């Protein structure tokens, strides 16, 4: 059976995408500070228990642990979880952070005996499955958070994306890896279909294709995210337009939504 694109990108080719998460590492301290501000604003203080859902290499988990939270990070990718554990050692926070390989589609079962004060889900790590499965993940998360706890979600904002939509693009990671992207919005489903081609530069101008995978994820406008969270038993609290906590408006690149129990 063909594996879902999430397994192809993050598990089968985890070593390739790893480079892009590493490239995002320097942004993590500032982003964690903003998340900390949001948590405090919603009465989730230092020392609270956080779940970093789809944590990748744990770049926010580790920074939040450094700030004083107790953090559990889960991710589908063994490659990323192994890197997250090393990162926790490097930053000397192994006592405050735990990482597990876990599929968000089974998170309630895997963490059945745990209760969190808040869940964070950062860098468009949601919307990867069909509508029912996406909402079910939110429903499972609701069972893991205490009364009065919150969920902070950061995803790309469809309204903002459409204003500056580029059907093609490329990103460098390190000096030899190049990611070409060909993007297409499906207006009937609200999903973005993106073909990612990873190229390795063997010598100047001589590229080898390492992998080609088509991603398929839901793009959200704020009202759709509020609808899905509400269906899953959450209450909408507030929104920002970026992890710098700028006000949300029509051109916002991100939706940083806060939902409560």
Residues that bind ligand SAM (CB under 6 A): 6, 10, 21, 24, 54-56, 59-60, 75-77, 80, 103-105, 122-125, 128
DSSP 105: G
Closest to ligand SAM by CB, 32 vs 150, is 32
CB of 147 to ligand SAM, least distance (A): 25
C-alpha span between 108 and 197 (Å, rounded): 34
Closest to ligand SAM by CB, 21 vs 64, is 21
The sheet carrying 168-173 orders its strands as: 168-173, 177-186, 191-203, 206-218
CB of 146 to ligand SAM, least distance (A): 22
CB of 52 to ligand SAM, least distance (A): 7
Residue 207: CB atoms within 10 Å: 15
HEC string for 15-62: HHHHHHHHHCHHHHHHHHHHHHHHHHHCCCCCCCEEEEECCCCCHHHH
> Which residue has the CB atom at the shortest distance from ligand SAM?
56
CB of 32 to ligand SAM, least distance (A): 10
Closest to ligand SAM by CB, 42 vs 60, is 60
Tokens standing for 249? 């408006």
Closest to ligand SAM by CB, 18 vs 150, is 18
Residue 68's φ and ψ, nearest 5 degrees, are 125, 5
Closest to ligand SAM by CB, 33 vs 201, is 33
CB of 75 to ligand SAM, least distance (A): 5
């Amino acid at each position: 059976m063909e594996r879902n694109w999430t397994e192809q990108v993050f598990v089968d080719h985890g070593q390739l995408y790893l480079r892009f998460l590493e490239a995002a590492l320097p942004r993590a301290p500032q982003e964690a500070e903003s998340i900390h501000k949001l948590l405090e604003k919603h009465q989730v203080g230092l020392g609270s228990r956080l779940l970093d859902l789809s944590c990748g290499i744990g770049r926010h988990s580790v920074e939040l642990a450094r700030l004083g939270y107790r953090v559990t990070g889960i991710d589908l990718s063994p490659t990323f979880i192994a890197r997250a554990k090393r990162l926790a050692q490097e930053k000397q926070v192994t006592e405050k952070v735990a990482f597990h390989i876990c599929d968000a589609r089974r998170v309630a079962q895997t963490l059945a005996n745990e209760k969190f004060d808040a869940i964070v889900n950062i860098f468009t790590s949601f919307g990867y499955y069909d509508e029912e499965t996406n909402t079910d993940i939110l429903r499972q998360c609701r069972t893991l958070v205490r009364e009065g706890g919150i969920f902070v979600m950061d995803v790309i904002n469809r309204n903002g994306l459409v204003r500056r939509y580029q059907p093609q693009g490329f990103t460098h990671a390190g000096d030899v890896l190049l990611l070409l992207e060909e993007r297409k919005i499906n207006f009937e489903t609200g999903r973005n279909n993106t073909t990612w081609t990873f190229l390795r530069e063997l010598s100047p101008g001589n590229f080898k294709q390492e992998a080609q995978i088509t991603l398929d994820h839901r793009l959200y406008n704020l009202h759709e995210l509020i609808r899905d969270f509400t269906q899953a038993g959450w209450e909408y609290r507030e929104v920002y337009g970026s992890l710098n906590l700028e006000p949300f408006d029509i051109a916002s690149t991100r939706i940083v939504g806060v939902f409560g129990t």
